Structure formats: structure tokens, C-alpha cells
Copies of this chain bind each other. A is one copy, B any other.
Amino acid sequence: MPCEFKAVRRVEFSETDMAGIVHYSNFFRYMETAEHGFFRQLGYSVVMDRHFETPMGWPRVHAECDYRQPLRFEDEVEIHLLVSEKKSKSLSYIFKFRKLNGTAPVEVARGSLTVVCVTKKADGTFASVHIPKAFAEKIEVAPAEMLA
């Protein structure tokens, strides 16, 4: 059962800032690239309208990132998603960012996300719901040694 996913991106010019490095907010966009690839790998889209009767979404309740080294234009970066927690209504991931340019990959940042499964109510607000069983059954928490 899948507990991880790896996405690779090349840093775009528009993702840099005047300090010459990737703007720190973009690491949170990179996390989503891996998260959504993880969903596709399981046969789902993060926009679950097509899969279940009730349209569902996954708003974030917590996001964080520790930055060790900057990323620069045209760097190739691997975003390694690992499932760190699975609850009835929420999932947590950690993300290891590795720069692949050189011979050995270098971890440049590490982040995490906690997301909640919700359905959209008639008034436009969200209500948390149980993760659909068919989906939850496909996911498992990564072993401790992978999360370290």
C-alpha cells in the first residue's frame, strides 16, 4: 500500500525573487505538486467530485517548512512525500526536498502538511467528513525509519 510519492520539478524563473533564490512561499506550492501526484498514483484527483457522490476537498489546517539551503533557477528538486499520520478525517504528510543537480542529492528543506477531508455545504462553508473508505484503504503511514 502506498505511503510515499516522489515528484521532480525544475525551478522556474518566475519562482525566484530578487534575492536570487526560490521565494519561500513556493515550497508550499511544491508540496502540493507531490500531494496531487500521490493522489493520481492512487487513481484519484485531489478534486474528488468525480469519484464520490458528495464533492470533497482537502483544505489545509497546518503547514510548515524548515529551510536549510536555498534553491535557485533551473535547480532540479525532488519533492518526496511521506504519509506520517492517518486519522478518520485527516491526513498528515512530511516532505523532503532534495536538490538533484550534483552527484549526491542534498536535502535542502523539509516540510509538513495536515489536511482535512471536507464536503462543501449549501452555504459554501466546509464541514469535515470521514475520509472515503475506498480511498483511505489505499493509503498507509510510512515506517518510522523513512520518516526520520
Contacts and interface: CB of A to CB of B under 8 A. Distances in A.
Interface residues of A, number: 39
B13 A16 contact: no
**Copies of this chain, whole number:** 4
B62 A64 contact: yes
A62 B66 contact: yes
Nearest to A72: B18
A135 interface: no
Q: Which of A25, A28, A32 has the most CB of B within 10 A?
A: A25
A5 interface: no
Interface in A1-23: 12-14, 16-21, 23
Given A18-B19, A18-B20, A25-B28, 8 more contacts: A13-B18, A13-B47, A14-B23, A14-B32, A16-B18, A25-B25, A60-B67, A61-B67
